[in-house]
Structure 1
Amino acid sequence: MRGSVSSPRLDGDPVRAILFDYGDTLVTHHRPVEALQRAYEEIAERLAAALHLAVPSAADLLIAVHDRVDGAVAAHQQSGALEEIDIVEEHRAAYRDLGLHPADELVEQLMGVEQQAWWRGATVGDDVVATLTVLRRAGLRVGLISNAAYLSPSMHGQLAHLGLARLLDSATFSGEVGWRKPSPAIFERALRDLGAGPQSTIMVGDSVATDIAGARAAGLRTVRLREHVDDPASGPAADAVIDRLLDLPGLLGVAPPP
């Protein structure tokens, strides 16, 4: 099935770089139930060994720690706050409320175990690898900018696990910067990481409020992707709207993947 491009208005400086959103743009996510259960079995064992006391079951820890923190992250996102949530402190607080006081180093190690389970909940979208490959072969710099509060090693590890790290010139996460899209601060950092200027860079993402509004405020041209989510939110119009990521090379005058 062929896609379509709406309102193609990419006038201006030649496009030399592209920043992509992550979730619902390059990947989709689902809750990896079995992987999380196995992760929390390991977490329970490591807590018991380190603290020398009885700890809640893996199932209870999953609810009391993972689901609590996940809810806090979702609420923070819904609030529209620009400063990123302190994900480590959220985990510490969850353990404290269970009467558990693991050392900070152990907390971060356990977070890593949890996040590796989520690697199995991420699926690379159709045609992503082919599209990124042809864009880079055309000489374009390709970067990632994502609202992801989690620890930097976990997020970069996920990119490597999915085979995306080798296709990106940079990857910038809100958990590293301390600010979320649409804050100008994360766009400034992402452009610096990518080695590109705003006038020659476009932003590709699904969210009107974070991707399109944030990028436009930072001086980038924008492309809204509605392959996975057709965001109904009001806000600034993107310079172009595409149905599939595979439509992007043609919009930029690059030969599409075979």
Structure 2
Amino acid sequence: MIEAVFFDLYETLITEWENGKKKAEFHPANILGIDQAIFKSEWSKRKELRMDGSFPDAKSCLVDMFQALDKPINMDDIHTVIENRINAKTIPFQSIDKEIIRTIMQIKEMGIKVGLISNCAPEEVKAWEHSPLAILFDTVIFSYEVKCAKPRKKIYNTACANLNVLPEHSLFIGDGGSNELYGAREAGLIAYHAVWFQPLFISEKIAGFPKLKKPSEILSLLKANV
């Protein structure tokens, strides 16, 4: 019996992409005067520390990057990058697929709890509380707040404990980033691969999990397991 459905956020409930392009593009490396490849490498190195809250905000991460590269710090440029990043991460919240909202509402009407488990830094979810999604969720786990990120077992256990449900009675649905599906399965949840925002060549890279091509398919799963 399924008692809860947990969702990932980016590329599961919202997407940064449209017609193969980012909805909002900006180039922080250019603003900061850092080579693009170097910026990408240094930013990626700090991903886990950004997600688990070790860096409390984007500013602390960027300052750490400059110090590691032994470059002079221009706080005006850093603030510009942060503002641009917040704006870029806000845009996906402004056009949420109606089928996603409708599906979540129908899940709740079935008496099933709904939770969110998202790897994110603070600036990536500033628009969450004003989005139509926020009022639909019974628990919201942002990795930087709980100091733990997917695919670590602890973050899934925390989500289940918040809703007083067993992992084996819970679904986890996500696009597969950060090995989240493997983590969910390891924690005892039943994991499904959401591919509705993914092009085929990306979705095929993740194997071993049943794929959902549209949000409404979740309802069929639940009707068979409630």
Question: Match of 1:44?
Answer: none
Question: Match of 2:19?
Answer: none
**Residue 134 of structure 2 is aligned to residue 134 of structure 1:** no
Q: Deviations over 1:115-169 (max 9, x none)?
A: 2442024542351111111111221111111121x12xx4553222332111111
**C-alpha displacement of 1:219:** 0.7
- Structure 1 unaligned blocks of 5 or more: 1-13, 41-58
CA separation of 1:66/1:216 partners in 2, compared to 1, >3 Å: closer, same or farther? same
CA separation of 1:199/1:248 partners in 2, compared to 1, >3 Å: closer, same or farther? same
Give the share of equivalent positions with the same residue, in percent.
21
Query: In the TM superposition, what are the counterparts of 1:228-243 in structure 2 within 5 Å?
Result: 228-229=197-198, 230=200, 231-233=203-205, 237-238=208-209, 240-243=210-213
Q: Which deviates more, 192-201 or 17-26?
A: 192-201
Larger radius of gyration between Structure 1 and Structure 2: 1
Q: Which amino acid aligns with 1:24?
A: E
CA separation of 1:126/1:70 partners in 2, compared to 1, >3 Å: closer, same or farther? farther
Secondary structure of 1:127 counterpart: helix
Q: Which amino acid aligns with 1:20?
A: F
User: Normalising to structure 1: TM-score of the pair?
Assistant: 0.65
Q: Deviations over 1:201-222 (max 9, x none)?
A: 1101121762321111001112
**Residue 218 of structure 2 is aligned to residue 248 of structure 1:** yes
**C-alpha displacement of 1:67:** 9.6
Question: Match of 1:32?
Answer: 24
- Structure 2 unaligned blocks of 5 or more: 17-21
Distance (Å, rounded) in 1 between the aligned partners of 2:79 and 2:159: 25
Q: Which amino acid aligns with 1:90?
A: C
Question: Match of 1:51?
Answer: none
Question: Match of 2:3?
Answer: 16
**Residue 90 of structure 2 is aligned to residue 119 of structure 1:** yes
